[in-house]
Every structure is written in structure tokens, then in C-alpha cells.
């Protein structure tokens, strides 16, 4: 178990439910220059302050984010992991800069990975570990329990 993992959360992974779209989605993300970002990496502050982000926790417990939109183009969650399974995924609203961030809203919404509502706690904990406190964030759950 990695130092960032926790046995108190579900460990099931979620696979891409729309694999037939993967090549086109990755091609679009590549053309637009989309690269998954970790908290505080160059480009993170600009990405979070431009609008809604998509996030995922990889099977290696890495928290990655991308913008939801670039111009009018929606970027797929699969761009975060190049289509590989995730432990959790969703969307979020975050503001801040220079290491001081505020999580305003977090969801488990992903039409590709369709994560369960209980997996959202993995995402909340991943943001917490990176210094983004989810305590006061609006939490929206999608899907069955």
C-alpha cells in the first residue's frame, strides 16, 4: 500500500465505460495541449481559476486535474489517465493561487468512469492530502449508492 493510500476507503477501480470514444477524445486533448496536472504544478493555478475542473485519483493514488472546457470543447475524464481505470473521479470548483486553495464544490460526476457516490470520499481525501480542505465544500453525489 502506498503512503498516500488508506484502507478506510473503497478500493474498487472504475473503468472507462465509453472505450469506443477513447482515441478521438485523446486526440482532441492532445491537439489542445491538455496535460493532467498535480496540485501546485505550473499551470494548476490558471486551470482552477478558469472554471470547473475534472479530477481523478489514479490507481496509484495520484490526484490529477484538467480543465472541463478549453474554449467550447469539453475535455473527457479519460484525458486524465489516458483511459486507464481510476479509484475516483468527478468535477470540482477550486479557487486560489500560490499554495492557498479553496475547494468550493466537488462531485463524483463522470460519464466515462461512472464512479459510485461512496468513491467521492477518496477524492475529498486526495484534495485534503494536497492541502485543499474539502470540509466546507458543497458536495454533490451522482449515481446509485
8-39 tens-digit pLDDT: 555 689 999 999 999 999 999 999 999 999 99
| Residue 110 covered by a domain | yes
Residue 115's domain comprises 19-140
Q: Do 65 and 48 touch, CB atoms closer than 8 A?
A: yes
pLDDT in tens, 101-126: 999 999 999 999 999 999 999 999 99
Using CA of residue 130, residue 132, residue 134, residue 138, what is the dihedral sign? negative
* Domains identified in the chain, total number: 1
| Residue 85 covered by a domain | yes
| Residue 1 covered by a domain | no
Indicate if the pLDDT at residue 1 is higher than 50: no
| Residue 5 covered by a domain | no
Instruction: Calculate ∠ Cα 79-104-56, nearest 5°.
Output: 25
pLDDT in tens, 34-53: 999 999 999 999 999 999 99
| Residue 9 covered by a domain | no
| Residue 145 covered by a domain | no
| Residue 4 covered by a domain | no
Nearest CA to 68 out of 46, 91, 49, 87 is that of: 91
State how far the Cα of 7 lies from the Cα of 121, in Å rounded to an integer.
12
| Residue 3 covered by a domain | no
Amino acid at each position: 500500500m502506498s503512503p498516500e493510500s488508506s484502507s478506510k476507503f473503497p478500493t474498487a477501480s472504475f473503468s472507462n465505460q465509453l472505450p469506443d470514444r477513447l482515441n478521438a477524445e485523446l486526440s482532441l486533448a492532445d491537439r489542445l495541449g491538455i496535460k493532467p496536472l498535480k496540485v501546485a504544478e505550473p499551470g494548476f493555478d490558471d486551470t482552477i481559476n478558469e472554471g470547473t475542473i475534472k479530477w481523478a485519483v489514479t490507481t496509484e493514488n495520484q490526484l490529477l486535474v484538467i480543465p472541463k472546457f478549453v474554449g467550447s470543447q469539453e475535455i473527457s475524464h479519460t484525458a486524465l489517465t489516458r483511459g486507464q481505470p481510476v479509484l475516483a473521479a468527478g468535477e470540482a470548483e477550486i479557487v486560489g493561487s500560490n499554495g492557498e486553495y479553496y475547494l468550493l464544490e466537488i462531485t463524483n460526476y463522470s460519464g466515462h468512469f461512472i464512479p459510485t457516490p461512496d468513491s467521492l470520499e477518496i477524492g475529498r481525501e486526495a484534495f485534503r492530502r494536497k492541502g485543499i480542505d474539502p470540509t466546507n465544500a458543497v458536495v454533490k453525489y451522482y449515481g446509485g449508492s
